[in-house]
Amino acid sequence: MIRYTPDDYNQYDVLKIPLFLVLANFYLLKHYLIIALPIMAHIPMIGRVIQPLIQIMPSSQFSSGALLYSCIPALLVIISMAGRKPTAAPWLRWIWQRGQWFLLLTIVLEIAFFAWYIVQGTKKLNEVNLMFIYLDLVLIFYLMKSQRVRDAFAQFPVPDKKEG
C-alpha cells in the first residue's frame, strides 16, 4: 500500500517535513521568544508594536532561565531541520534521527520545570502556563501517534557518492 504521494517528497527524495511539525518545533522554542521580546523592543520598527505587549505581560512571569534550557533539544532539532541535505554533518543526521525524542524531551523538561517552580512557590499556575501545559500534552500525543512524523524523522538525504 502506498502511504505517500510523490508530492510528499522533496528534491532529495525524502519526506518533506510536515508543516505542523515545523510549527510545533517553533512553539517549543517559545521561551526564547518570550525572553527576546524585551530586547526586540529596542529595535526601531518592531519596538513600537511590541512595547504595549511587554507592558501588559512581563516576560519573567511566563519564562525563566531554566525554561530556556528546556528548549535546547528543540533548538537542536530546528538546526538539524535546516541542515537536512546530503552534505549535512554526521551530527546533524544523528540529531535528526532522534528528533522525535528530542522534542519529547523538550516537553518533559518544560513540564518538569513548571512543576518545580510551582512546588517551590516561585511561580503561580496562571492561565498562560496552563495553556502551555495543555498544548504540550497535545504535542506529546501528536508526536507519539503520528506515523508521518516517525517516517519524516527516519529519513535523511543520502550523502552524495564521490567518484574517484
pLDDT one digit per residue (tens) for the chain, 164 residues = 678 998 999 999 999 999 999 999 999 998 887 776 666 666 676 666 656 655 555 545 556 677 888 999 999 999 999 999 999 999 999 999 999 999 999 999 999 988 898 898 887 788 888 899 999 999 999 999 999 999 999 999 988 776 44
What does the pLDDT read at residue 24?
A: 96
Q: What gap in Å lies between CA 129 and CA 145, rounded to an integer?
A: 24
Q: What are the start-end ranges of the H helices in the chain?
A: 19-28, 30-40, 44-56, 65-70, 72-82, 90-97, 99-120, 127-145, 147-154
What does the pLDDT read at residue 141?
A: 97
What does the pLDDT read at residue 82?
A: 94
What does the pLDDT read at residue 145?
A: 96
Break the chain into its structural domains and give their ranges: 23-154
Q: What gap in Å lies between CA 20 and CA 156, rounded to an integer?
A: 19
What does the pLDDT read at residue 102?
A: 98
Contact 80, 72 (CB under 8 A): no
What does the pLDDT read at residue 125?
A: 81
pTM of the model: 0.82
Long-range pairs for 153-156: beta carbons < 8 A, 24 or more residues apart: 153/96, 153/97, 153/98, 153/99, 153/100, 154/97, 155/14, 155/15, 156/14, 156/84, 156/88, 156/93, 156/96, 156/97
What does the pLDDT read at residue 163?
A: 47
What does the pLDDT read at residue 14?
A: 93
Q: Can you read off the three cell numbers belonging to residue 106? A: 523538550
What does the pLDDT read at residue 40?
A: 61
Q: Can you read off the three cell numbers belonging to residue 126? A: 496562571
Place of cell 538546526: 79
